[in-house]
Structure 1
Amino acid sequence: MTYSAVMPPRQVKIGDAAIFAGTTPRAIRHYHQIGLLPEPDRGVDGRRRYGYDDMIRLLWVRRMAEAGISLDDMRAAFEDTPDIGEVLGRLEETLAAQEAGIKRQRAAVQRLQAVGSPLGLLSELVTDRLRDLPPGSLRPADLEGLLVTERIFGPHGAAIQAGVFIVLAAHPELRAENDRLEAAEAALDDGVDPEDPRVEDLAMQRCAYQLALNRASTAAGLDAEEERLFDTLDIFGDSTEKEEPRLMSAIKAVTKMPYDWSPARNRCVERAGQLLGEALAAADAADCQRAPA
């Protein structure tokens, strides 16, 4: 074998250039189109021929792409512009966010493995609070409710709601009463007038149920933890969608979630909330009167 037989060619075609750089001819053509890789000389057959300098440029492009540098920012790197430090700073922030996202994904997978149900897809705060529930305590509708609550009020709001299911798991009579009330409320969707006396009566029953649920929660020692969680809620939301698309205020989120409840059912829910607020305010006033001066 002679020395000249092992010497590389002075120029290579686009296919060989792509193989050597670890990319594709299509990607190289795109680099040409956006001006990132200068057009090389063409041979007598009209095809591109890549020399040593072309290959070095292509290799640097591939290394920067692997580092996560965008194609637009690569130009600044090649031109050695003064704002390259800013480009690298943005890249560092992007990589840090991606790293945090991967950690969240791994944590979710680990929770799914540990919990063995869709509950593991919710936040760690919610999952941990419900981890010790007996099997079968959570129904599909319960998980759906937690999913919606977490989207609207965040992990702390869903963790507060999780306390309801802790109480229901220990009080089957309350679970049965809730089932009865939900069935009666669903019946309001069958053309019932919002001013029908059944709406007010059902709202009073729902209020009474909620008060009983609150008493059971207090007896179980859950109220202190839920009060702490409630203090962390951000109902109006300081984050803007421009800053973080995944976040929005609870007030705005509520308007985005569709419900097919009838006016009568909506009125029942609204009225039950009013009655509960009045009952809790009256209880607080009574406590203040009993408190020593």
Structure 2
Amino acid sequence: MLRIGELAALAGVTTRTIRHYHQVGLLAEPPRTAAGYRLYGMADVVRLIRIRRLAALGMSLPDIGRVLSPRQDLREALADLDADLAREEEAVRRQRAMLAELMHTGRDPALTPELGHIFAELEQIFPAHPLLERERETITLLEAAAPEAAQALTGVYRTSMGDERLQRRMWDLGLRFEALQDASPDDPEVAALAAEMADAMRPFMDAVSADGRAEAGSGGPAGTVSGERLSAMMVDALSPAQRRVVELLTP
């Protein structure tokens, strides 16, 4: 017969672990000596080794208890664990692929890969300009708060990368929007800028709206409204004149 310290040494665990397994019911209480010391047999050693090895595979203690039950099929339980580990492995593979891309490109992890590439190109054309950071924040928040508007703006960016005239036009509109920081909402530039921005984005908004109607007609999602509070935060961060431009752009 073995004392708890000897059992722990044979099974490769600590005495504290063995006491915990007693508390959770994985190990039955063994007989004790007159002095109150637990005494273990070889069956306890074998069971403890099984518990240790199943735990090393990632199996939870409640699952180990079920696996070691005479009514449980060990092969079935291990197959379930293998399937769980395969899903975790795939998730880790995807995470590492994303991490490798971020390390290689140095792009903002808040942006989708497509937008990350677009902004990387914009930074080559308009390096270290404050407007780029504003645009980055805007598109990131739009993706969470107003996916359709974000999709339209992404379409503008995507098309502008191959159209220098459109690229310069959108950049000019962005600069004019920034210049409204200290302007009055009644400034004539507000209405003029809203009209020009609406004109520039109209083809893309029309395409997005058509996609939304097609999805709604087929029973699919037409968009989300869960970002209303986020949209409000975005608007609150603008100056009164800039807020008025957004209001004029909103149908």
Instruction: Write the deviation string for residues 24-77 of structure 1: whole angstroms up to 9, x where unpaired.
Output: 444333222111222234455544444322221122112222222222222221
Instruction: Write the deviation string for residues 121-156 of structure 1: whole angstroms up to 9, x where unpaired.
Output: 6443444555554533783333333433444567x9
What is the match of residue 124 of structure 1?
A: 113
AA of the residue aligned to 1:179: L
Instruction: Write the deviation string for residues 65-118 of structure 1: whole angstroms up to 9, x where unpaired.
Output: 22222222222211143687775565455323312320221012111121023x
What is the match of residue 63 of structure 1?
A: 53
Task: State which of 207, 220, 236 in structure 1 corresponds to 2:195.
Answer: 207
Query: Which of structures 1 and 2 has the larger relative contact order (alpha carbons within 8 angstroms, sep 6+)?
Result: 2
Q: Does the CA contact (< 8 Å) of 1:129 and 1:159 recur in 2?
A: no
Q: Does the CA contact (< 8 Å) of 2:8 and 2:15 recur in 1?
A: yes
AA of the residue aligned to 1:107: A
Tell which deviates more after alignment, 65-74 or 107-116: 65-74
What is the match of residue 170 of structure 2?
A: 174
Cα 1:126–1:58 change in 2 (3 A) is farther
Instruction: Write the deviation string for residues 176-211 of structure 1: whole angstroms up to 9, x where unpaired.
Output: 431331442x558xxx8xxx645x962552231242
Normalised by the length of structure 2, the TM-score is 0.66
Gaps of 5+ in 1: 1-9, 216-222, 240-248, 275-293
Q: Secondary structure at the match of 2:227?
A: helix
Cα distance between partner residues in 2 of 1:55 and 1:203: 82
Tell which deviates more after alignment, 17-26 or 28-37: 17-26
Determine if the alignment matches structure 1 residue 29 to structure 2 residue 25. no
Q: Does the CA contact (< 8 Å) of 1:125 and 1:159 recur in 2?
A: no
Q: Percent identity?
A: 26
Residue 267 of structure 1, CA deviation: 5.7
Gaps of 5+ in 2: none
AA of the residue aligned to 2:64: M
Q: Does the CA contact (< 8 Å) of 1:203 and 1:269 recur in 2?
A: no
Q: Does the CA contact (< 8 Å) of 2:141 and 2:234 recur in 1?
A: no
Task: State which of 252, 262, 278 in structure 1 corresponds to 2:226.
Answer: 252
Determine if the alignment matches structure 1 residue 112 to structure 2 residue 102. yes
1:1-293 aligned at under 5 Å gives the runs 10-14=1-5, 17-18=7-8, 20-43=10-33, 46-81=36-71, 91-117=81-107, 119-120=108-109, 122-128=111-117, 132-135=121-124, 136=127, 139-152=132-145, 161-165=153-157, 167=160, 170=164, 171-172=167-168, 174-184=170-180, 186-187=181-182, 197-198=186-187, 202-212=190-200, 231=211, 250-255=224-229, 259=233, 261-262=235-236, 268-274=245-251
Q: Does the CA contact (< 8 Å) of 2:145 and 2:227 recur in 1?
A: yes
Cα 1:72–1:134 change in 2 (3 A) is same
Q: Secondary structure at the match of 2:26?
A: coil
Cα distance between partner residues in 1 of 2:220 and 2:57: 34
